[in-house]
Structure 1
């Protein structure tokens, strides 16, 4: 019975040949562009740390926690851009908006190669943060617009894994550039990293401009027929599409549990990623009390962390889809992982094998990115699109606002190699995540029961969801596949 249900999960029996063909096209054109875009997003983001440990620190005379300050400046720009970026998608088609942002951050990445002091990078990284803020939250909004609840987790996982791949390959790329181009045309290897990363961003932007399909209601992609576009619209609940620039919308956002529940969830969960997002293993190796590492080792060994994150992300995204969207499972897994890894590092600070093992294990926490944003998309599937867009953007904005100072207080480079305060902070945030996951699960379950009781969602004899949407301007009764 389990084998049959798993087969049906991989290839749902109720999906028609036409629907499977549509999903294959969506996977190719949406995921290929979004994953390449996010890969470059993370590659451009992680190259700062790679450059820092590959000669930039010495060439630009970094002092104290200036690296963390530059990261914070980037985060400030990233935070400021979150909500405007997702709101812009109501007025500017994603096919236009995403490529423009890519061209901006790719150009600024190349400009980073001309930096002569840390302050130059602070100014440049602020504007890179503004441009890159469109990618993560914008893609999750688009994925939630196209895919059903049964499909969303896996796609969110693939997308998130592509960003981790950018982090992982950044180390290998820097190693190759440092060994082959260091000193070429009078430029250090770390400067070539910025130049090359910026150049390869541009053709991906062109690909998105030519072939990205926008959203179901605004799609005009040449590779989708009229019947396929109609099918895409019918697969997801029909919801009101109204301008978010109105007081009633702001009131709805601030009085819904969605905004508070998911923003707090991601603020906490974002800090459970701190071991990995702040590249603590690389900083530990740079200041190791037991041995000295080569430039190649400093760049290559930490790539194991995002590699673990990729596997974990894909595993839990698929698992939670299989279990019918039980995304909260990941919250409880992180609760255990965060406490255990921090405790191991505190207990065995001079054991290289345990330190490496704990940091690699901590990479599994990256699984929360895909699953928690998929959870938010799932729960708000019956709400107007811009409410979903604002909540998703606010989640990432809140998390980055916290991380802007959290990383300096607990994970500053001057605290390497042990980060003792950071270990205790990880234990505290992991406990908080376990508690808040339970609270949010209670609210989501209560809301689902209310929808069923109100007749908004009910099952018919054909095993479909029947969704009735009430709106001040119209009432719609539609069928959607479960």
Structure 2
């Protein structure tokens, strides 16, 4: 029993050389993608860290200008989703990912020279377009290399790396503010952006040299010909069509996958609003009865992504162990959103309750790894181009809604109570549980049809005396909505 569990955690590799192959993939894919996402999130969240560390006063921010900048970033990020994933068909990931990193590193450093909120807004828009490549692109790559028994844990590790960027960003800002504030005449928050950009460059160079692309086009020097063949055999062989064509678009929009997974992530994205909008930091900044220090403003909120990391790894590993039951996270999110919102509404003046609720709310970050792994699992027998577009559309839809959702419900001017946002959270949490149940029903229904289709094909082959060992696949089959 113990040996079986250990084998499962390692991924259940059984073919000769498979364990060695997966170890190589883990090292070269996960190290690069996790570092890339860590830096990606570090860049994003450090805007909030800079805001509470002097940028607000230096650049004369007013009202909800911080939320407006985040909204402009979200618009750019939304625009970049699908084009970035489609670009992976025409530009090798080994070239595309690092090139995007170089551009966003330069824009991050340019933020250090901003003289107004409007200047930061313009920089963040273009920065977001290039950062859009990281999250959905990596999930597409993970789904291209790993099996269902391996995918959840790897998705969890990848997502946790971004949360680590969120958490560590606060400590970095604290250290920079205490040691570099005023150095060469620059404020500490400006040094933060300069350092963020500089440390991104070596990771980009590493990607140029050693990222393995996908199983079908890899030329990685550390993979032998046998390992490349083994890597291709581990994933279903599916039909392909160009992602830029009217025929493909019609096919994409005729399947339930696009609609159901896009709506799933739209709802899930808004259940992360407490954390993604840094409500705990804004609550502390606007607290009517207590003045927090810069160190406290940067350090205390790091507990939120810390909870997110633990939750992400727990649920990613558990759902792998349970055979891919990713939907369980949807129900956990629904419960968490309702209870934490109710806690804040019921105790508006209790600081300890607010801290506890916001920390607990960090656990909903688990949906990032599990829901994208869920999409990869369900679309495993569909063509890669459809899987790439669905994954990108999920994030695109979520960010399109979040562009106005955060201002409407979680603007900085609503601090410290965010009463309107609490009721919005209860609503989307209920919707999360309901939609999760509907998606499970659609998935089960499709699997039954796929199995029936395979059975009919197998019987026909047997009658013709030509029974072959086949892996059931749809190859472009998509159930009409």
TM-score (norm 2): 0.95
Alpha-carbon distance between aligned partners in 1 of 2:117 and 2:222, rounded to the nearest angstrom: 47
Structure 1 residues 456, 77: CA separation in 2 closer, same or farther (over 3 Å shift)? farther
Alpha-carbon distance between aligned partners in 2 of 1:76 and 1:258, rounded to the nearest angstrom: 24
Contact 1:456–1:467, Cα closer than 8 Å, also in 2: no
| Residues 385-411 of structure 1, C-alpha deviations (whole Å, 9 max, x = no match) | 010000000000000001000000000
Partner of 1:87: 86
Partner of 1:467: 471
Partner of 1:31: 30
In the TM superposition, 1:261-276 aligns within 5 A as 261-276=260-275
Alpha-carbon distance between aligned partners in 1 of 2:408 and 2:155, rounded to the nearest angstrom: 31
Question: Shift in Å at residue 239 of structure 1?
Answer: 1.2
Question: Shift in Å at residue 289 of structure 1?
Answer: 2.2
1:136 aligns with 2:135: yes
Alpha-carbon distance between aligned partners in 2 of 1:442 and 1:74, rounded to the nearest angstrom: 35
1:378 aligns with 2:377: yes
- 3-state SS, counterpart of residue 216 of structure 2: helix
Contact 2:94–2:207, Cα closer than 8 Å, also in 1: yes
Partner of 2:463: none
Question: Shift in Å at residue 7 of structure 1?
Answer: 3.2
Partner of 2:185: 186
Structure 1 residues 40, 69: CA separation in 2 closer, same or farther (over 3 Å shift)? same
| Residues 51-106 of structure 1, C-alpha deviations (whole Å, 9 max, x = no match) | 00000000000001100000001111100000100000011000000001000000
Partner of 2:70: 71
Question: Shift in Å at residue 332 of structure 1?
Answer: 0.4
Alpha-carbon distance between aligned partners in 1 of 2:285 and 2:106, rounded to the nearest angstrom: 30
In the TM superposition, 1:37-48 aligns within 5 A as 37-48=36-47
Alpha-carbon distance between aligned partners in 2 of 1:121 and 1:12, rounded to the nearest angstrom: 44
| Residues 320-379 of structure 1, C-alpha deviations (whole Å, 9 max, x = no match) | 000000000000001110000000000011111111000000000000000000000000
Alpha-carbon distance between aligned partners in 2 of 1:440 and 1:54, rounded to the nearest angstrom: 43
- 3-state SS, counterpart of residue 471 of structure 2: strand
Alpha-carbon distance between aligned partners in 2 of 1:18 and 1:458, rounded to the nearest angstrom: 33
Question: Shift in Å at residue 17 of structure 1?
Answer: 4.8
Partner of 1:453: 452
| Residues 440-472 of structure 1, C-alpha deviations (whole Å, 9 max, x = no match) | 00000111111111118999xxxxx94145669
Structure 1 residues 275, 457: CA separation in 2 closer, same or farther (over 3 Å shift)? farther
Contact 1:457–1:467, Cα closer than 8 Å, also in 2: no
Question: Shift in Å at residue 290 of structure 1?
Answer: 2.6
Structure 1 residues 458, 129: CA separation in 2 closer, same or farther (over 3 Å shift)? farther
Alpha-carbon distance between aligned partners in 1 of 2:51 and 2:35, rounded to the nearest angstrom: 25
Task: Could you tell me which runs of 5 or more consecutive residues in structure 2 were left unpaired when the two chains were aligned.
Answer: 459-468, 477-481
Contact 1:309–1:366, Cα closer than 8 Å, also in 2: yes
Contact 1:152–1:374, Cα closer than 8 Å, also in 2: yes
Alpha-carbon distance between aligned partners in 1 of 2:368 and 2:100, rounded to the nearest angstrom: 22
Partner of 1:462: none
TM-score (norm 1): 0.95
Task: Could you tell me which runs of 5 or more consecutive residues in structure 1 were left unpaired when the two chains were aligned.
Answer: 460-464, 473-482
Alpha-carbon distance between aligned partners in 2 of 1:25 and 1:161, rounded to the nearest angstrom: 20
1:324 aligns with 2:323: yes
1:61 aligns with 2:42: no
- 3-state SS, counterpart of residue 241 of structure 1: coil
Contact 1:268–1:399, Cα closer than 8 Å, also in 2: yes
In the TM superposition, 1:126-165 aligns within 5 A as 126-165=125-164
1:96 aligns with 2:95: yes
- 3-state SS, counterpart of residue 455 of structure 1: helix
Alpha-carbon distance between aligned partners in 2 of 1:290 and 1:468, rounded to the nearest angstrom: 63
RMSD across aligned positions (CA): 1.6
Contact 1:456–1:468, Cα closer than 8 Å, also in 2: no
Contact 2:11–2:149, Cα closer than 8 Å, also in 1: no
